[in-house]
């Protein structure tokens, strides 16, 4: 592969090559070992370590050559250091790292001597040996420091440590590529901080020395330094002309005097500030003056500021405020060369410190801090200042304020309200503070302290300098002004600090520094934050802070499998590749590498530690600790926070695949393996469904963690919702733990209804035995199967029917309710019950009929009646075999059948007739014949077979009332006449019954003959046998909606009169019928049917009410007729009266509507007899009234 280099890179490489040649010429000719040592690669390392400053690199390499000539490291042999290396405390590995670098393995626990000289010589020997074994073109090595078994007793003395560090950073610069700390102890953080000076965020460089006059003020402009001296002169210093660094920033080299502006100020310069946005230099001396840059011409002098002791500049708005005695003045820059006074405010005391805070001004006066409202001049107190130290007001980049109270720094907002309870505690009261994000740098009487601007505001660095007078922030550094010299604190690059802090275990500080990386490095920042969060999480986890560790794992967005790899007891799907947890902590670079580049972060920090660095050991105790309750609770919270995003992504992926399949866009590799069922995981997950695989890993782990911590309820809730749990793993775990409720939910969520219902049925069966109840924590009942089946009625009715059979016997009512409420096809249910549970078919149909008879099809009604009939036939067969059958007996089966036959209207009666026995069930036969409108046959059965006139009468009443309620017809009395004919002509009716019953196919002729013999024998008692008069036309009698009781001639008018003296006539039943139902029978037709010898006295109960009713009706009609005639007479009288009225019309008569003369036109007179109108006008007015009423009615 090739990497393209831009012009800037080429120029930079060319510049570095020139630097190497320059350094080589500066060193001069060499010989021997020095010549071999000073190769181009070596010179590059020394230049790199000194930021490509030739002079500094020359000085450094000369000191190294001097040290090598005296120490002679290349001549050290193994026998000289064998006693130090016999324990293997330092050794060269037999392998290289990923970049081909030699690896030195250090084991501090194997330290075997306290000899400083021996330890150093042993280390130098190994370094030289490692350098000789470096591949061509490789100048760096890797260190692996294994702290396993280390204790304070095996610690190397600090004096030896300092000497080793001195040798490493001065004589082996840029040799350390990366260092890995394995299992570092907590105390190592303090040791590492003490030993590694390059952790400091600032490096102090002396740029200016031996100034002839005392320096009272200092400021920078680009790469130049302005020194305001006590004698009023302004000395301008700049880097040497040979410097090729950025002209807009200060350089790390000694400055030279460029020019001196004598008489710049009449009095000593108290303070200076470069206003870069306006190219002005503000100076505070006897007054406040503004000078143009870069020529320093005077632009403006604010004479009113004479005697001013403090000021503050608002660069955004161009406002200047300053304090003078007990006054505060505000001026505004007019955009050119002048300043305009805005306002003057009075304050209660002399102002010691001042700063803008938004639109207002914060003042530190002698005893307290106040906020000055520039709009109305009011003062609001904040809190008292310190008693000893003067007040100090510092404006923060966020717009907030840092107020000093003795050695405490308090944070307030722009209105003076306290922001937080934490405070910055300096070792002494600071005189000034400079904010260099993310640090606060304070000038103390005897030192400069650097603290992190993040709670708990730890001390990061202390710089000891004497006689410091000024601390000023520059564009890329902090300037420290002494009496006659100037130091500049150059910040170590943020990226380098991040690497150092991470390596030393200061993860929180490293994360805070990541926040201040420049925006252009956002991707780098995200990668670094993720790496630091991961390392911090491992550190916290190993030290027992499990919940905090999970918070950092969450922030790092590390793969879930990385976290789960720390839980060996959590079983994951087989497709998951579980990475081993990385316990390594790496430290990149050394002194020189940490000070170059804007980020200065080694790529090795991101790479995972090589597998061969990890040694196998017994982790039984560690695994036991990791699987403790606290670790699992932390894992649960972590997984629950990660879950929504993972599930949403998995769901959207499944939706996309469904849509893709719907439109025919399938992915070949996936088509061969994807499931036709739900997108949820079922066993193995397709490898290319990444989101769903991750969801399966998460849900499977979460379920196990919940179960391990005893949260069965939460596990069930997880399974009830959308989940991607691996079925095979979770089924095995749940079955082993006997958590059957969760197992059922697992099956249900994965549409494994067969498995769920089988298990549920098994558990329900086991719950019935006392022995199983001791093993199963929850009692399972058949009702639970019904509840499970309810949601499946719409989607899988056959499954519902199949498994409902398991509980149909034990819970018949609930099961049938399931069929009815589930909207399963009634025909389907009936067919299934008929095949698998015929004993429950009738009950199901009964409930169906009870709910809504009209919704039940005729087929189902037939089924139900046939079932009832079968039950009665079985009963009949059983009792007939025992000769105990009684036709008048009505057991429940017969009652149910009779009720169904009478109340149900949709069944087919013909098939039922064929199933009835010949000599039994006459009442059922009569009802069926009635449904077929064979009323005469039905009545014949009631009369001749059952000998039950009361049943015949009830049958007639039922038919009469059913017809009378029809809206299109009037009540019919033909049904009563029919039963009269049967009573009066039993022989004729028996013959007719025989003919018609044979035609219907119900009986054989022998049965009919048997019936006739029975009739004749029952009626021919006393030796009398008379001829039965035939009733002609009785066969044609039918009852229908069109029958009418008012017809003048009934269907029986054509019947021949009965023969006299017929002894078979059932005259008593006839008379009873006539007396009971006289109002429903046509009297004339009934009398016509009666025998001639019937006595009138016997007909009195029939004729008396009939005649009474008839005469009463006639009388009523007469009264109504008289009333109508009287009403007609009254109307005629009124008509005659109105016709007698006279209207006087003259030639002057006017129409009341149109006010015109009536004349000879047709006119109309109102009822009062006086108001006259044209007839046309009257007609038009009536039409208008009708229209208005109509429109009004519509509006209403």
pLDDT mean over 815-835 = 75
Q: pTM of the prediction?
A: 0.55
Q: Which pLDDT score is estimated for 1064?
A: 67
Residue 848 has pLDDT above 80, yes or no: no
Alpha helices in 1140-1165 (DSSP H): none
Q: Where in the chain is the domain with CATH 2.130.10.10?
A: 203-491
Give me the pLDDT at residue 186, please: 57
Tens digit of pLDDT for each residue in 980-1006?
Answer: 778 777 766 666 666 666 656 544 434
* Closest listed residue to residue 1078, CA positions, set 1099, 1092, 1058: 1099
pLDDT score of 977: 79
Handedness of CA 753, 756, 759, 762 (dihedral sign): negative
Instruction: Order the strands of the 339-346 sheet from edge to edge.
Output: 310-314, 319-324, 327-333, 339-346
Q: Hey, is 98 helix, strand or coil?
A: coil
Q: 848 near 842, Cβ under 8 Å? A: no
Q: What CA–CA distance (Å, rounded) separates 191 from 588?
A: 18
What strands lie across the sheet with 280-284, from one edge to the other? Answer: 271-275, 280-284, 288-292, 298-302
> Residue 259, Cβ neighbours under 10 Å: how many?
11
Q: What is the mean pLDDT of the chain?
A: 77
> Of 532-546, 749-763, 856-870, 1138-1152, which gets the smallest average pLDDT?
856-870
- The per-residue pLDDT for 991 is 66
Instruction: Report the distance separating Cα 1115 and Cα 1131, nearest Å.
Output: 25
Nearest to 275 by CA among 319, 245, 309, 307: 319
For residues 487 and 207, the answer to whether their CB atoms sit within 8 Å is yes
Q: Tell me how far apart the alpha carbons of residues 265 and 245 are, in angstroms, rounded to a whole number.
A: 32
Cα angle 1125, 1128, 1134 (rounded to 5 degrees) comes to: 145
Per the listing, tokens 């109102």 go with: 1166
- What pLDDT, in 10s, does the model give residues 414-433? 888 888 777 899 989 999 99
Residue 1192 pLDDT exceeds 60? no
pLDDT value at 486 more than 70: yes
* The pLDDT value given to residue 371: 94
The string of DSSP codes covering 886-918 is -TT---HHHHHHHHHHHH--SS-HHHHHHHS-T
Q: What's the confidence (pLDDT) of residue 48?
A: 82
Q: How confident is the model at residue 203 (pLDDT cuts 50, 70, 90)?
A: low
CA contacts within 13 A on the Cβ side of 23: 30
Give residue 1055's pLDDT. Answer: 42
Q: Which of 259, 256, 206, 209 is nearest to 233 (CA)?
A: 259
Q: What is the pLDDT of residue 569?
A: 87
Please report, to the nearest 10 degrees, the dihedral formed by the alpha carbons of residues 943, 948, 949, 950 taken in order. Answer: -150
The pLDDT of residue 808: 74
- What does the pLDDT look like over 295-351, one tens digit per residue? 889 999 999 999 899 999 999 999 999 999 899 999 999 887 789 999 999 999 999
How open is the CA angle 352-356-362, to the nearest 5 degrees? 50
Residue 336, classed as helix, strand or coil, is coil
Q: Is the pLDDT of residue 199 over 70?
A: no
pLDDT of residue 289: 93
What is the architecture, at CATH level 2, of domain 203-491?
7 Propeller (2.130)
Task: Name the percent of the chain lying above pLDDT 70.
Answer: 79
Of the ranges 242-246, 876-880, 941-945, 1014-1018, which one carries the lowest mean pLDDT score? 1014-1018
Between 575 and 876, whose confidence is greater? 876
**pLDDT of 194 over the 70 cut:** no
Choose the weakest-confidence range: 16-25, 193-202, 272-281, 370-379.
193-202
For residues 113-137, give the mean pLDDT. 83
**CB-based contacts of 1062: which residues, under 8 Å, 6+ apart?**
1026, 1027, 1028, 1029, 1091
The pLDDT of residue 456: 79
Nearest to 392 by CA among 327, 445, 442: 442
Confidence check: pLDDT of 551 > 50:
yes
């Amino acid at each position: 592969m090739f990497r393209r280099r831009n012009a800037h890179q080429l120029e930079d490489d060319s510049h570095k090559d020139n630097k190497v040649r320059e350094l080589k010429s500066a060193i001069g000719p060499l010989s021997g070992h020095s010549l071999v040592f000073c190769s181009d690669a070596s010179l590059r390392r020394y230049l790199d370590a000194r930021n490509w400053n030739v002079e500094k690199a020359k000085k450094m390499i000369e000191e190294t050559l001097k040290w090598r000539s005296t120490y002679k490291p290349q001549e050290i042999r193994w026998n000289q250091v064998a006693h130090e290396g016999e324990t293997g405390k330092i050794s060269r590995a037999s392998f290289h790292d990923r970049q081909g670098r030699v690896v030195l393995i250090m084991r501090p626990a194997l330290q075997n001597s306290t000899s400083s000289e021996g330890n150093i010589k042993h280390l130098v020997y190994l370094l030289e040996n490692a350098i000789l074994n470096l591949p061509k073109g490789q100048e760096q090595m890797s260190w692996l420091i294994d702290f396993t078994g280390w204790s304070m007793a095996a610690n190397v003395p600090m004096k030896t440590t300092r000497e080793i560090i001195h040798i490493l950073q001065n004589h082996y610069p840029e040799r350390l590529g990366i260092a890995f700390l394995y299992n570092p102890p907590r105390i190592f953080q303090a040791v590492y901080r003490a030993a590694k000076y390059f952790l400091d965020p600032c490096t102090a460089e002396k740029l200016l020395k031996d100034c002839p006059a005392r320096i009272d003020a200092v400021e920078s402009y680009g790469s130049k330094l302005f020194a305001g001296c006590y004698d009023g002169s302004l000395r301008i210093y700049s880097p040497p002309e040979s410097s090729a660094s950025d002209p807009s920033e200060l350089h790390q080299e000694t400055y030279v005097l460029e020019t001196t502006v004598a008489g710049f100020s009449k009095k000593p310069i108290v303070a200076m500030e470069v206003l870069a946005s306006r190219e002005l230099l503000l100076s505070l001396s006897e007054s406040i003056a503004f000078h143009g840059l870069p020529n320093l011409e005077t632009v403006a002098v604010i004479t009113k500021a004479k005697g001013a002791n403090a000021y503050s500049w608002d660069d955004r708005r161009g406002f200047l405020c300053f304090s003078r005695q007990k006054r505060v003045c505000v001026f505004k820059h007019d955009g050119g060369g002048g300043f305009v006074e805005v306002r003057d405010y009075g304050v209660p005391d002399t102002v010691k410190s001042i700063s803008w805070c938004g639109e207002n001004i914060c003042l530190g006066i002698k005893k307290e801090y106040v906020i000055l409202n520039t709009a109305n001049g009011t003062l609001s107190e904040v809190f008292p200042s310190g008693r000893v130290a003067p007040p100090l007001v510092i404006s923060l980049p966020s717009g907030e304020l840092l107020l000093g109270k003795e050695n405490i720094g308090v944070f307030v907002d722009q209105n003076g309200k306290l922001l937080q309870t934490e405070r910055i505690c300096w070792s002494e009261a600071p005189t000034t503070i400079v904010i260099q994000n993310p640090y606060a740098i304070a000038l103390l009487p005897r030192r400069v302290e650097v603290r992190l601007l993040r709670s708990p505001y730890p001390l990061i660095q202390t710089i000891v300098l004497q006689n410091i007078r000024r601390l000023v922030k520059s564009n890329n550094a902090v300037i420290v002004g002494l009496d006659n010299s100037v130091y500049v604190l150059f910040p170590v690059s943020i990226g380098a600090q991040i690497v150092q802090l991470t390596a030393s275990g200061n993860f929180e500080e490293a994360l805070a520094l990541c926040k201040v990386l420049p925006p252009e490095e956002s991707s780098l920042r995200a990668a670094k934050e993720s790496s630091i969060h991961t390392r911090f999480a491992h550190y916290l986890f190993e030290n027992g802070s499990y919940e905090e560790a999970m918070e950092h794992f969450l922030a790092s967005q590390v793969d879930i499998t990385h976290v789960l790899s720390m839980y060996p007891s959590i079983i994951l799907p087989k497709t998951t590749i579980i990475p081993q947890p990385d316990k390594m902590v790496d430290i990149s670079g050394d002194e020189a590498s940490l000070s170059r580049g804007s980020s200065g972060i080694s790529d090795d920090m991101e790479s995972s530690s090589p597998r061969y660095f990890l040694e196998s050991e017994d982790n039984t105790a560690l695994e036991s600790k990791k699987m403790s309750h606290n670790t699992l609770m932390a894992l649960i919270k972590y997984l629950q926070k990660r879950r929504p995003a993972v599930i949403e992504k998995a769901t959207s992926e499944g939706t996309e695949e469904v849509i893709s399949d719907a439109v025919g866009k399938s992915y070949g590799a996936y088509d061969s393996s994807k499931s036709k069922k739900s997108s949820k995981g079922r066993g193995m997950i397709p490898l290319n469904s990444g989101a769903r695989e991750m969801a399966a890993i998460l849900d499977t782990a979460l379920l196990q963690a919940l179960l391990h911590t005893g949260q069965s309820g939460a596990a069930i809730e997880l399974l009830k919702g959308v989940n991607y749990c691996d079925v095979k793993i979770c089924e095995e775990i749940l079955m082993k733990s006997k958590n059957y409720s969760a197992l059922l939910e697992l099956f249900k969520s994965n549409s494994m209804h067969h498995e769920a219902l089988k298990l549920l049925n098994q558990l329900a069966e086991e719950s019935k035995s006392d022995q199983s109840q001791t093993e199963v924590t929850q009692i399972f009942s058949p009702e639970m199967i019904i509840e499970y089946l309810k949601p499946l009625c719409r989607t899988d009715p056959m499954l519902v029917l199949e498994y409902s059979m398991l509980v149909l016997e034990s819970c018949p009512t609930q099961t049938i309710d399931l069929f009815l409420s589930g909207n399963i096809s009634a025909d389907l249910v009936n067919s299934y019950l008929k095949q698998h549970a015929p004993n429950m078919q009738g009950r199901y149909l009964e409930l169906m009929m009870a709910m809504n008879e009209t919704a039940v099809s005729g087929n189902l009604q037939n089924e139900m009646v046939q079932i009832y009939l079968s039950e009665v036939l079985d009963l009949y067969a059983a009792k007939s075999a025992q000769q105990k059958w009684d036709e008048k007996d009505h057991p429940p089966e017969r009652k149910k059948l009779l009720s169904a036959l009478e109340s149900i209207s949709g069944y087919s009666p013909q098939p039922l007739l064929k199933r009835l026995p010949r000599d039994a069930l006459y009442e059922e036969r009569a009802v069926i014949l009635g449904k077929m409108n064979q009323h005469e046959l039905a009545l014949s059965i009631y009369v001749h077979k059952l000998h039950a006139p009361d049943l015949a009468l009830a049958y007639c009443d039922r038919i009469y009332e059913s017809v009378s309620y029809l809206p299109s017809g009037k009540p019919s009395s033909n049904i009563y006449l029919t039963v009269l004919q049967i009573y009066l002509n039993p022989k004729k009716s028996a013959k007719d019954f025989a003919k018609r019953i044979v035609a219907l196919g119900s009986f054989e002729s022998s049965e009919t003959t048997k019936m006739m013999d029975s009739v004749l024998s029952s009626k021919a008692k006393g030796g009398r046998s008379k001829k039965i008069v035939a009733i002609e036309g009785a066969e044609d009698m039918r009852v229908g909606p069109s029958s009418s009781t008012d017809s003048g001639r009934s269907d029986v008018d054509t019947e021949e009169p009965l023969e006299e003296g017929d002894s078979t006539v059932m005259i008593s039943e006839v008379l009873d019928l006539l007396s009971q139902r006289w109002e429903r029978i046509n009297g004339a037709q009934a009398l016509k049917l009666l025998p001639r010898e019937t006595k009138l006295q016997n007909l009195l109960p029939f004729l008396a009410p009939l005649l009474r009713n008839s005469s009463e009706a006639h009388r009523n009609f007469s009264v109504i007729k008289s009333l109508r005639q009287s009403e007609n007479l009254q109307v005629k009288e009124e008509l005659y009266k109105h016709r007698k009225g006279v209207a006087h019309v003259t030639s002057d008569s006017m129409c009341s509507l149109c006010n015109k003369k009536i004349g000879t036109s047709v006119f109309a007179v109102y009822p009062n007899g006086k108001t006259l109108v044209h007839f046309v006008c009257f007609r038009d007015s009536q039409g208008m009234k009708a229209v208005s009423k109509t429109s009004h009615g519509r509006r209403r």
